[in-house]
Amino acid sequence: MSLTFTSEDGWIISHLKYINNIYKNITDGTTIRSLAFNGEFFDINTKYLRQNQGCNQSDNDAEIEAGVGNSKVSQTKSKKRKRVKEFPHADFEQMNYIRRSLENLLTSAKKIGYFSEELISDNNRAARFVSQKFYTDSFRHQIDNLHGCNKTEKAIISETLYERYVFPERCSFYCYDVRDIPDKMEMNNQFDFILLDPPWWNKSIRRKKSKCTEASYKMMYNEELAKIPIGKLLSPNGIVAVWCTNAPSHLRSISNEIFPAWGVTYKAKWFWVKITSSGETVCDFNPPPGKQPYELLLLGSVATNTSIDIPDGKLLVSVPSAVHSHKPPLTDLIKSYLPSNPNCLEIFARYLLPGWTSWGLEVLKFQHLSLYSIVDEERDAGVDE
């Protein structure tokens, strides 16, 4: 399970713990072994800083706050002040709500021993290194036009296109463009839960794409997302969840265009708050439209289904992966709103989940065996434990 703490405000989850639980007993030919994902991906011990900031961050903050520094900094601050006035009061209300809820949740967690204050802060050096190496390696291992599955009740190691990958139990995957869904998948309203992490069109990714192909991904316009046949894939009592940036244009598109096109009614908004190992947010809360330490998860259900009651405003709190779009698992959080054995689909998936169908051009991105290490001795697969 990924769930480590629960309160009225939300949950603390461990992405790393969830992955390692999946691969505690994995079949490799005639042997069984336990694997552990590279924990350095989650070694986020410091707020996100530029590499040349390091320990001088507090001094820099003091200078900027006092209006000291070069003219470029002063000009930037002036521009941001002008932009803030253009944003509605609701954005500030949302930010303040998240701050208050997070403070309540973390205070409760710390009372029972969560978060150590004796951690080494090194500007996330290990996480930076492994993420950069990962971008290069995953670009080299990139594959497409592939469908596969593991129908067994155990995770397995298998070779695909001369590379070794790990596959969780009862999983199925399609490594195709999302536009190929109608041609590759049955349109028979089969899924109880559909999760999407769309490659939203944004300036940041455009800049990355111009500098480093390995660190970028193919973006899609909102009009294209609305054409995904969710209505033909979702069961009559199904739930949809969409990861979304804080951009108002994307939020408006989901509620006004994308959900209606899918035959889905908006139900709730949850907030994924990213924290360091010591419980700090990975960056400061900033006046909108500044960078925030959280992302949004919008949930909806089939328009004709009025029986589903999903609470609004919940927080998902976790230490994030150092790799962009390596989202935390929702399995433990959403299961109480689904049937006992739900049929789940993730679109734009970047890793595989037990019992799920996963679709995306990067669907095997985190499955390569090089990202895992053996944590115990091999055992004969024919011997019951």
Enumerate domains of the chain plus CATH numbers.
Answer: 3-48+93-378 (3.40.50.150), 53-86 (no CATH)
- Say if residue 10's pLDDT is above 60: yes
Average pLDDT rounded to a whole number, residues 351-380: 90
Here the tokens at position 143 are 């594959």
Chain centre to alpha carbon of residue 21 = 18
H or E element at residue 211: helix 203-211
Q: Quote the CA–CA distance of 298 and 246 in Å, as a whole number.
A: 11
Closest CA to 370 of 140, 171, 152, 175: 140
pLDDT band, residue 144 (cuts 50/70/90): confident
The model's pLDDT over 244-283, given as tens digits with 9 standing for 90+, comes to 998 888 999 999 999 999 999 999 999 999 999 999 999 9
Q: Residue 213 above 50 pLDDT?
A: no
Q: Which amino acid is at 329?
A: P
Q: Is the pLDDT of residue 331 over 70?
A: yes
pLDDT of residue 84: 39
Tell me the C-alpha distance between 211 and 49, whole Å: 20
- Model pLDDT, residue 350: 94
Confidence of residue 198 (pLDDT cuts 50, 70, 90): very high
